[in-house]
Chain A
Amino acid sequence: MRLVQGNEAVVLGALAAGCNFYAGYPITPATEIMEQMARMLPGRGGVFIQMEDELAALGAVIGATWGGMRAMTATSGPGFSLMQEHIGYAAMTQTPCVVVDSQRIGPSTGQPTMPAQGDVMQARWGSHGDRPAIVVTASSVKDVYDMTQQSFTWAFTYRLPVVLLLDAVLSHMRENIELPAVSPPSLPTSADSADSEDPYKPFGNHPFVPFSANTRTIVSGLAHDETGNTRGAVGPASEQILRDSLSHLDEDYQKITRHRNYRLEDAQWLIISYGITARAARAAVDILRESGVRAGLLELMTLWPFPELIVKSIARHVQGILLPELNLGQLVLPLRAAVGGLCPVAGLGRADGELFTPEAIAQAMISHSRKIERRVSHHA
């Protein structure tokens, strides 16, 4: 058992995943990740570098990955906005990397020390163009450890930047957790077999192979084909790479989408929640159950791809859904689309830097249910 802080769990999870490169620029509430990486990486043969800003930080991470390292960075809202350019670049160049965004109140400088969940749409759609995306979140320090580790696996499996969304409370929160003993995975190597391929195809539906001494690899944010060629009519080839990446995620959708059920078996009223808010939602379910309301919680750990299948399957069996989130209505949008009228969906948002209390969520669920029951009895 150890008492571990959320940000520290990012570092421990990343090291367990074999992370050996960190580039960043300090920002509240993510700074402890950088501080501890600075302390831990050099002694383990890894590389730590503080860059001049967040653009450069993610740029360095992308370069390091191509150099054969398992690389990550961490930031908060303002830095995450700057990183959008290179998230797009990582997507276009199919570069595996992990970006942690500890969310604080925005827009802009906002409230640096206060928790938020306002980056859930930006994490999916913040950079221009279409791209495959995996965005995950966590509600406990143990989750942070597990999801950081998992993010590296997915980054390399699907060759994309994986975003892990935390928040100011979770980043600074300490919990006692049991850390499993792990042996870090082997690092990606510049396989010589790639050299014999004719022509060598570093992009598309091929495993990620870093630069090697024997191969010339062109990495460009310009549209390119599987060989990296950017000249000529590469538009259709480039679109095909994108389509293949997207369908790779679609095929593995069930493997990627993670969720947690709490008292759902006989639930009539569903709370869907994610991140730190799910902790209050869990307590709210207990409060509601004690007062005779059959409530249950679906906690989402994967936000993108949006877990619409699981949402839909549960929505069929409940009378109403409430989604509390620390923003003014973001994940409720894909939720409404997924539920598609199977039952009424209500959002509950706040962006003042405070967490929802369990009582506030329970109260909102009760008002939502009363409204629905009135409507039903009116129609009857």
Chain B
Amino acid sequence: MHKAVQTPDRLGIRLTGRGGQGIILSGVIIAQAAMYDGRFVVHTQSYGPEARLGASKSEVMISRWEIAFPEVVLADILLCLSLDAYLKYGSQVASNSLSVIDDLIGITAPAPGQVILPLRRTARDLGNELSANIVGLGALVAITELVEVHHVQQAIKERVKPEFSEVNLKAFTRGLELGEQWHASA
């Protein structure tokens, strides 16, 4: 387990990307999975003209106790799927944070805690780049063990339209593999 999730309370997760990449949906899926884990969760989202193709974000707070302030200030865990989102949110992270960043953003010298993975390319190989959010989710879950795998699968089945369930479950599995490969190589 990564040290970012060893903190006993209040884990702040920020998922970022470009409007249309399914950032909000992936936040809802994490929140729902964490709820099945028996935690308190709050999910918030940015929304609006800037979220339609501009940088978009979705935040999940997870805690063993009731959560007072609902928004994430400095993220413990960050997912980044687009360059503009990286420029806006990439540095707003806590110390000991973990960031999973898509390799097409083109970061050549990752900082400590930054994990660069082929999320969009993997999604493209699966036949739908729009599932990059779920690939990213899989990678995050494998690296941080932030929620139970089967709870994420359950949440995907409940929150994704039935016709897209299979492709998203496959994307999640591929993401888990990416995360496990990273663990093995790290």
Residues of A within 8 A of B (CB): 1, 3, 28-29, 112-114, 168-169, 172-176, 276, 279-280, 282-283, 286, 355, 357-359
Q: Which residues of B contact A29 (CB under 8 A)?
A: 47
Q: Which residues of A contact B31 (CB under 8 A)?
A: 3, 174, 176
The one of A168, A173, A176, A280 in contact with B68, judged by C-beta atoms closer than 8 angstroms, is A280
Q: Which of B35-43, B129-137, B142-150, B178-186 contacts A (4 or more CB under 8 A)?
A: B35-43
B68 near A1 (CB under 8 angstroms)?
no
Chain B, interface size category, equals 20 to 34
A286 near B44 (CB under 8 angstroms)?
no
B49 near A113 (CB under 8 angstroms)?
yes
The one of A1, A168, A357 in contact with B69, judged by C-beta atoms closer than 8 angstroms, is A357
| Contact pattern, B 47-76, Cβ under 8 Å of A = 1, otherwise 0 | 111110000000000000001111101000
Known contacts: A3-B28, A112-B48. The answer to whether A173 contacts B69 by CB under 8 A is: no
Q: Which residues of B contact A279 (CB under 8 A)?
A: 68-70
What DSSP secondary structure best describes chain B's contact surface?
mixed
The one of A1, A355, A357 in contact with B35, judged by C-beta atoms closer than 8 angstroms, is A1
Interface flag for B32 (CB, 8 Å):
yes
Known contacts: A3-B31, A174-B42, A175-B42. The answer to whether A169 contacts B48 by CB under 8 A is: no
Inter-chain CA distance A283–B9, complex, in Å, is 14
Q: Which residues of B contact A355 (CB under 8 A)?
A: 71
Residue of B nearest to A278 (CB): B68
Inter-chain CA distance A279–B71, complex, in Å, is 10
Known contacts: A280-B68, A358-B69. The answer to whether A3 contacts B32 by CB under 8 A is: yes
Q: Name 5 interchain pairs, CB-CB below 8 A, sorted by A.
A: A3-B31, A29-B47, A173-B44, A175-B42, A175-B43
Inter-chain CA distance A172–B31, complex, in Å, is 14
Interface flag for B45 (CB, 8 Å):
yes
A283 near B68 (CB under 8 angstroms)?
yes
